[in-house]
Amino acid sequence: VSDRFMTVAKVGEIPEGGVKVVRVDDDPVAVFHVGGQYYALADLCTHDGGELSDGTLDGYVIECERHGARFDIRTGAVLAMPATAAVPRHAVRVIGDQIQLACETCDEREAAAAAAKAAQPAASAPAAPPPYTDSPGGQSSVRRAFESPAATEPAATAAAAPVSGTSAPSLQEFAVRAALETVMDPEIQLSVVDLGLIREVVIEPERTLIRMLLTTPFCPYAPQLTQDVKEAAMSVVPQPCEVEIMPDAWSPEMMPDPGLLGFST
């Protein structure tokens, strides 16, 4: 798995409650901005290929305008038929004022950009288009930003960022998520990651914050589970870790692969 990131937008460019379509690894990706956070999903409804960025965004729920399937933008999970498969999600991070997405082909893009630059040393960068515009026709409640040439530029700052230290929070986040794959729910014998219980990992300067769900509201294993989660996080990011249990109800659709529980569709 690549841990290379590319800048796709700048903070402030996607309005709260808005979306911008960018290209990552040549695929369209919808980057949503909700509740001060950014979330990225493939811009492709798993029902029949509708563009999710054209849909209606209500809180964390995007409704495909074609036949009404609904997805959680935080996880890609299906919330309403006719879609039955989750939409692929992309890792997002914010470095300074740059919104970046994980990218599998950053190296090739970087090489191509460098080659293009070498061939045209005097060429000036193209002017950026307006940062966003309301979607034409007013059919969508989502304010949509157009793709910008900047979206295809590799993130020089991210590429130069050291692997350790405070300047690379997402690597720490990945490390925490990887460590959490070893924390098993004692009842179901699947990891908290496979169960989709880990909703958010926030690496702050002084602490790690993990927001998670429980499979049942009064899970008798909750204290042990939160302790295991804390220890796993602290084993890779040595700073205090707080686990916040979210009141939301868990459901198997939140799993990255519901088939693990026999919920395949």
Q: Which residues bind ligand FES (CB under 6 A)?
A: 45, 47-50, 64, 66-69, 82-83
**CA 19 centroid distance within chain:** 13
If the CB atoms of residues 53 and 148 are measured against ligand FES, the closer one turns out to be: 53
Closest distance to ligand FES from the beta carbon of 70 (Å) = 9
If the CB atoms of residues 20 and 70 are measured against ligand FES, the closer one turns out to be: 70
Closest distance to ligand FES from the beta carbon of 251 (Å) = 20
What values do phi and psi take at 151, rounded to 5?
Answer: -65, -20
Closest distance to ligand FES from the beta carbon of 160 (Å) = 40
Closest distance to ligand FES from the beta carbon of 54 (Å) = 10
Distance CA 72, CA 98 (A): 24
Distance CA 116, CA 120 (A): 6
From residue 20, how far is each of 14, 16, 53, 103, 126 by CA, in Å? 6, 11, 7, 17, 19
Torsion angle of the four alpha carbons 97, 160, 154, 92, in this order, in degrees rounded to the nearest 10: -50
If the CB atoms of residues 82 and 252 are measured against ligand FES, the closer one turns out to be: 82
Task: Mark 62-83 as b/e (b = at least 16 C-beta within 10 Å).
Answer: bbbbbeebbbbbbbbbbbeeeb
If the CB atoms of residues 79 and 175 are measured against ligand FES, the closer one turns out to be: 79
Closest distance to ligand FES from the beta carbon of 67 (Å) = 3
Residue found under tokens 């990255």: 256
If the CB atoms of residues 70 and 109 are measured against ligand FES, the closer one turns out to be: 70
